[in-house]
Structure 1
Amino acid sequence: MKIPVKDSHFIILIMLFVFFNGSAQTIRGVITDIETSEPLSGANITIEGSNEGAISDLDGAFLIDIIDWQNNTLNITFIGYQSKEINLAPHSADHVLNIQLYPDHHTLGEITVDGVISNPVRRNGDALFTGTALTSKGLSIGGAPASTSVYHALDILPGVLIEGVDGYGLSEKSVRIRGIRSSFSGMTLEGFPNYGIMPIGARDDIYDMENIESIALYKGASPADLGTATGSKGGAIELRYRRPNEEFGAEVNQSIGNHNFFRAFTRVDLGKTAFGTSAFVSFSATEADKWKGPGKMGPRYNAVTGITQQFNENFEAEIFVNYNTIKRNAYRRLSYSEAINLKENYTKGFSSELTGVASQDFYYYGYNDGTFTNIDFMGIVRYTPDDNTSVSIKGYVSNEEADYDGTVQRGPNFFKTTSFRDISRMGIIPEVQGRMNQISYSAGYWLEIFDNDAQVYNTRIADQGLIPVGYGFFSVNEKKGIIHSPYAKVAYSPGRFNLQAGLKYFHFTDPATDRFNSVSATELSETPNESLYTRKMTHHALLPSFGIGYSLKDNMQLYINYGKNYMRPYMYNPIISLYVNNMATFADAGMDLQDIFDNWKMETSHHFDFGFRYVSNYLTLSPSIHYARHNNVLASAYDSTVELDYFQNVGEQTAWGVDTEFYLHPVSWFTLIFNPTYTNISYDKNLERQDGIIEIKGNQSPATPRFSLKSGALFSMSDMDISLIYKHIGKRYGDATNIEKIDAYGLFDFSINYSFENINIFRNITAGVYVKNVFDKKHIGIINTSDDSRQGSATYFAGPPRILSGKISLKF
């Protein structure tokens, strides 16, 4: 008998239903904390090599229907816990699993989805995801610059603008986070503050990134228990070391590239001894020619050692030592007229020889170079008396020495300035973390003693050669400075709500300082200048934070986050130099140097984030609307008493915008990236200057594009990884009056890596090729300017041309 068509469709559907139900299996399970037996809501469960998976519910339970048993490995990951793999044998009965995860006390937690380059992250004890952490995939696509620079490693994230003049990340760079310069952002490594002065801010290029396990970026409000060094106006960055492996192993990376780029990195993990000791040592050497003009970037040497001593299951100690030194020549800056005619001026560099003409020798490369050395000792002692409590004491000693030259023009005269800095810091951070019922808490105290010695020596460039002039002033601190910063944070998660609140107090004391004038090129006055004396100065701020989140579903969350951030005073030398050059004017007005500093205030800012997060096996979406109000901003303004412009806390800025992270991974071997950013940041009112009002109200902050985009695609096929990244930087301005416009540009980066597993003595061999700026696009890389600048004050640097490098990595 012939079956009607519509009936045949019905029978086929029944047969398919029977077939799939006959071959499908269901995996059920509950995920709990092995120490507390509490259910873990939001854990990510996936079948390796497939798109099948689930998210655990409020009771820690999950269910997965398996259609095809091509792979029987179950992967389980959860924030703040060690990942776990379970091998399952297919059979007809349902699987019912009781999965217990171990807390990971060392690493930042991530929701790990194959192919994504970043994930939302929360610190230990937090209830909310308040930051973004790069995955190993995100770290791997940065190429050579991401090996020596923290900022370049973050380049793919929205809301972060990283631009440089050197294609290998060895030169100075321009970084803005939501429009705020990186000098105003905090950075910590294992909770230890990373910063220096002259210029103030984090030293992002003193680590080998192969030794860094995770990088987390907090773009708005910073968690109260996250160290933020000199300030957090632009957010904060948290780094964690890659710990010593418990088994012996070695890693050797060798990179070469155009412009004679060379980088060798070696790390040896010594394994864990019978006495509970494990350690690693690493060393790297990096060097490249400048891509234009004479001189080199490097050599750069870095050496690191890390030791972990496990005394028993409750008590451990760790020591890390990081040494970094680099010599480098600077790149030549351009004027605005040169910048807008970039095709003709792109390769303009410093001269290689002296000419005997002062105006030309101003551009001699030997007058624009420097040597920078950092060494850091860090120690951590951690005691966990029970499953719910951890007590730690962190101590550190840090030193930075630098000696670098630059050329400046003052009126008709040309000068070579030699800047010296010798900065020593030592501190201690006791901290306790714990959990009581559903409440997590942390509390600690950051105490630091510092000694900042920074001087500038002037030499005039004349036709007949260099003529020593002397110090504009020479500072001698009477005592050392000190920082006190207690903090506390609590988090609570009732049902689908997540609540947390924190409070930090920052108290900063600069020591009293004597200053001596030069009486000749080689001599200082025997007694200090009383007008330049500054007494002990103290600044402080109370910094609350608060966040609330609501889980619409197990993998979908709405949140609001608020935090008050700070920036400590930082423009001391420009003020002192201005006072020295106009001493008679200030004396006639009855003003000592101290009178200026008495009016200084701590910069503070209020940050709000309104966000949404969705994470699945196919899609990661994380848009955030942000708003910030910056108070007491240090800006150059007119003082009618002395009829001069100088830095005062008279500025108010408002910033708002949208950051979006979008990763679409419809199949396991492909990921689409789309990370757009819109940032609007401006002064709320005009500023008065000596020659009139500077019209900057409502104008976009210099060097910050309103729109930018980081996008691209990742392909993972068998043992091969390919990435194609496109970065679009919108138009920018070199001045706050928005007259000097720099056009938008776009760059393509490409990388391909191929890995071989278990080849003879090697656990892994990876070979890769990286191409930065594939189409050799000429563009302006750095706009060197202040947020309150006017037309004519900015300098510009050409961005690097096409950079081609190769790398081979061997793991034993």
Structure 2
Amino acid sequence: MKKTALLVFLLAFPALASASEISEAYPSAEEVTVTGKKGDILQQVTGRESELLNPSQMSVYKAINLMPSLSQQSVDPYGLADIVNYHESFRFRGVEATSGGVPATTVNVEGLPVTGRPGGGATIYDLENFSNINIYTGVMPASAGLGLADVGGKINMEIRRPEESFGVLFKQGFGSNDFRRTFLRVDTGALPGDVKSFISFSDAAADKWKGEGDSQRRNVMAGVTKTFGDNVKLEAFVTYSKGDIHAYRPFSYAQIGNLESAYTIDYGTNPDSYDYYGYNRNEFEDWMVMANLEVKTGEHSKLDIKPYYWSDKGYYLETITLANNQNRIRRWDIDHDLKGVLAEYTTTIGSVDLDFGYLYHTQVRPGPPTSWKNYKVVNGKPVFDQWNILSNSSSHELHSPFLEATYRFGSWKLEGGLKYINYTLPSIITYNTAGLGDLSYDEALAGNPSINAKASALDTKSFSRLFPNLTLTRFIGDNISLHAAYGENYVTHVDIYPYFISQSANFIQKGISFQQLWDAREMETSQNFELGMRVKGSNWSIAPTIYYALHNNKQAVLYDPVLDATYPMNNADAEGYGFELEAEYKPLENLSCYGSFSWNRFSFSQDINSDAPGGGIIKVKGEQVPDAPEFLAKGMVSYKAGDFLITPIVRYTSVRYGDVLHNEKIDSTTLFDLDLTWQKKMLGFKEVEISLSLLNIFDKQYVSMISTSDYKTLKTSYQAGMPFTVMATLAVHY
């Protein structure tokens, strides 16, 4: 297997395109810069490459998946329905930062945690409205990982500000399975009163590539900036998104073993069956509002105050399997929001650049869930059966002051930071629901139901800890840099609650209350060490990195035979280590190549003891964690011929496992894409662009997303990967 991965890398090495080089060879009127940040090492994949990797421009995860050690899987070629257990399938260095137990995503906007899960908050942005996507893995500055979690890494998107002059960007896309997407952005340019603004609209839809059902998504985003003299600037941005998504049917390990069947079987068309596609969909409506007041307080200092608010309303409707193997339709109503403010002051004292900041963030549940209702199917319609969960509406709360400093001396640079995390988990009051009918959530609570004490955690739980980071960089001439870095990250999983509710009889029979399990929750922390370098020649560069990470209180969803229950435990240590290599090469003026290779080992360094008193021991020591490929190799070549740009892309993913005991093996996969683009300035337009994207051009059948913590069955579930897909886009810049 190792030889195969290395061979694929060697073949792919002349295969990826550097952003800066390609933008020179083939300039674009609108650019999105994707940046990997590891100390002072920057890798760029700009403008055209963002669209190559994510032609639909609706998924930030697709746009960055050629970076080393980033594993991203898809069932939907357009990014509309790429959800597994209410989160995205995405890993940094084998670490799943977006698992079902984290009520957040890895994506921040302007440094603010204004995306959330579960719900519709992860893909509410159109990438045309963003100028930079910064990726941090392992060690990161204190200001880069703000929010409820940063254990694996963080993605930060920077909004494309209103342009100085009037402009219009129009894009129309069509593709397989009746895909269509219209995008329009209008910039007003400079208006009287030092005001600039923009507004954009997008409308996208696509049928599923198998089975019945479709996905629809509409987005509106607007921004306005105003300056007051030379020292004060006010910015405000608002985003609205509404999505209506039909899900793809997940499979068990036995079912996914027959890939040919998995590529044709999906939810059915009979409303008398629990397998009906109409019973498996979600619909969400989202609002995001943020502002930035920037005040220059000196020649080298400024104060930024950024308030923000995000609202998410909607529901999941899905077929579930109960512990007694009976099926039901579950409706999970979600109505939650988050809000906060970030205050940041930057200044320079002598030779030291300083950044002081403070984040206050509060986020209403779910997760964990507050409302689950189960329905039976009777005469082709869902008929209310019973409440599965009814609990209070409580909030996560985070206080996070931080400090960063940068000092340059000679050919050295020293960067350090310190972040304090004070994170309080919400209390959870579970109510008895016997006799409650098909009421709304508010109506059910208004009936003053009695409290189920054994299924409640009346006391909140808080975590307080300092998280340092330090990076030392040595520059040798203009073309070589070396760095050594250390940093600590965190995450707290909260998905023990639905597992307890679904198997409460097993726990209560053993005398175990939910409060005991809630009290046993620990913050998972990681200590990250990294050594790296970057060497640059006249037409090439190479950036190798080695890293090592220790994880304390790593979580895994496991079956405890003593309790006869499957639930998440987080009392064991794990370690990760690996090697990353990125290289870019431009042998000819019109030919650019880029390649990445990574070897990631992430496993438990001890067996796991059950969190529950009297539970068993699960032997997992030394086993690679689920859904974490050990080897990744990716590549892209861009060749310019006149007004045409021809770009083949290859991605290799090694063997993965669906369980920590390695009983469920998923084979390695190599996928190929091809993009053909024609660009020209003509007819008075800044640019006219026509592109044709061919995804999975050899129609490879493979397993894509894996969910090891599936609330529907409490077992691992799998999805087939997207098939051959064609997408064409016309873009006009005026």
Alpha-carbon distance, 1:181 to partner: 1.5
Q: Which secondary structure state, in structure 1, belongs to the residue aligned with residue 430 of structure 2? A: strand
> Does 2:201 align with 1:269?
no
- In the alignment, does 2:175 pair up with 1:257? yes
| Residue among 740, 754, 757 paired with 2:664 | 740
- How far residue 703 of structure 1 moved from its aligned partner, in angstroms, is 1.3
CA apart distance, 1:553? 2.2
The 5 A counterparts of 1:121-200 are: 121=37, 128-129=39-40, 132-145=43-56, 147-171=57-81, 172=83, 173-183=88-98, 186-198=106-118
AA paired with 2:407? Answer: Y
The within-5 A match list for 1:85-124 is 121=37
SS of equivalent to 1:275: coil
Mapping for residues 48-87 of structure 1, pairs under 5 Å: none
- Structure 2 residue aligned with 1:350: 267
Specify the alignment match of 1:24 in structure 2: none
* Separation in structure 1 between the aligned mates of residue 486 and residue 253 of structure 2, nearest angstrom: 39
Distance between the aligned counterparts of 1:399 and 1:713, measured in 2? 41
Q: Is the 8 A contact 1:289 1:295 kept in 2?
A: yes
Aligned partner of 2:318: which letter? G
1:414 is matched with 327
1:470 aligns with 2:383: no
Other structure's SS at 1:231 match:
coil
Supply the distance in 2 between the matched residues of 1:327 and 1:613 (Cα, whole angstroms). Answer: 45
Shift of 1:130: 5.9
Q: Is the 8 A contact 1:655 1:679 kept in 2?
A: yes
- Alpha carbons 1:639, 1:645 under 8 Å: kept: yes
Checking the alignment, whether the CA contact within 8 Å between 2:375 and 2:386 is kept in structure 1 is yes
- In the alignment, residue 408 of structure 1 is paired with which amino acid? I
- Residues of 2 paired with 1:747 and 1:391: CA distance? 47
- Post-superposition Cα deviations, 1:340-382, rounded to whole Å, max 9, x if no partner, equal 221233211111123x4xxxx2321111101022211000010
- Do 1:612 and 1:623's aligned partners in 2 also have CA atoms closer than 8 Å? yes
Note the alpha carbon deviations across 1:252-271, whole angstroms, 9 max, x for none: 00000110000000000001
C-alpha separation in 2, matches of 1:130 and 1:569: 31
In structure 1, C-alpha distance between the alignment counterparts of 2:281 and 2:418, rounded to whole Å: 43
Cα gap change, 1:251 to 1:118, in 2 (>3 Å): closer
Whole-Å separation in 2 of the counterparts to 1:442 and 1:208: 30
Structure 2 gaps of 5+ residues are 1-18, 100-104
Do the aligned residues in 1 keep the contact of 2:700 with 2:723 (CA within 8 Å)? yes
Q: Decide whether the 8 Å contact of 2:651 with 2:671 is kept in 1.
A: yes
2:450 maps to a residue whose letter is: T
Structure 1 unaligned blocks of 5 or more: 1-43, 51-74, 76-106, 109-116, 123-127
Question: SS at 1:256's partner residue?
Answer: strand
Alpha-carbon separation, structure 1, partners of 2:37 and 2:709? 32
Measure how far apart 1:161 and its partner are: 1.1
Counterpart residue number, 1:398: 310
TM-superposed deviation, 1:473: 2.8
Does residue 380 of the first structure (1) align with residue 292 of the second (2)?
Answer: yes
Name the CA distance, whole Å, in 1 between partners of 2:432 and 2:143: 43
1:597 is paired with a residue whose SS is helix
Q: What letter corresponds to residue 780 of structure 1 in structure 2?
A: V
Residues 1:765 and 2:681 are matched in the alignment = no
Deviation string, structure 1 residues 169-213 (Cα, Å, up to 9, x no partner): 1112421111112416632101211342447xx943111001011
| TM-aligned CA deviation for residue 526 of structure 1 | 2.6
**Structure 2 letter corresponding to 1:544:** P
Q: 1:585 to 1:364 in 2, by over 3 A?
A: same
User: Offset at 1:121?
Assistant: 4.3
> Helix, strand or coil for the counterpart of 1:401?
strand
Match of 1:795 among 717, 720, 731: 717
CA contact (8 A) 2:34 2:134 kept: no
How big is each residue's C-alpha offset from its partner over 1:770-794, in whole Å with a ceiling of 9 and x where there is no partner? 110011111111122259x9x9932
- When the two chains are superposed, the root-mean-square deviation of aligned CA atoms in Å is 2.9
* Rounded Cα–Cα distance in structure 2 between residues aligned with 1:313 and 1:581: 66
Q: Deviations over 1:714-759 (max 9, x none)?
A: 11344322211011111111111112222112111111111111x2
What aligned pairs does 1:591-670 form with structure 2 within 5 A after superposition?
A: 591-636=512-557, 646-670=567-591
Q: Are 2:730 and 1:808 equivalent residues in the alignment?
A: yes
Confirm or deny: 8 A CA contact 1:133 1:214 kept in the other structure.
no
Name the structure 2 match of 1:210.
128
Matches within 5 A, 1:696-735: 696-735=620-659
Bigger radius of gyration: 1
Distance change (3 Å), C-alpha of 1:481 and 1:774: closer
CA distance in 2, matches of 1:120, 1:338: 38
**Which whole-Å CA distance do the structure 1 matches of 2:493 and 2:692 have between them?**
44
Question: What code does the residue aligned with 1:804 have?
Answer: V
Could you state the TM-score of these two structures normalised by the residue count of structure 2?
0.88
1:429 counterpart = 2:374: no
**Compared with structure 1, are the counterparts of its residues 696 and 499 closer, same or farther at alpha carbon in structure 2 (3 Å cutoff)?**
same
Aligned-residue sequence identity (percent) comes to 27
- Residue number in structure 2 paired with 1:337: 254
Determine the C-alpha separation between the residues in 2 that align with 1:809 and 1:644. Answer: 54
Secondary structure of the 1:158 match is coil
Cα distance change on mapping 1:419 and 1:485 into 2, 3 Å: same
Q: How far apart, in 1, do the equivalents of 2:199 and 2:563 lie?
A: 58
SS at match of 1:697: coil
Count of residue pairs the alignment pairs up:
685
1:782 aligns with 2:705: yes
Aligned partners of 2:477, 2:609: CA distance in 1, in Å?
53
**1:676 corresponds to which residue?**
597
Query: Given that residues 391 and 429 in structure 2 are in contact (C-alpha distance below 8 angstroms), is that contact kept between their aligned partners in structure 1?
Result: yes
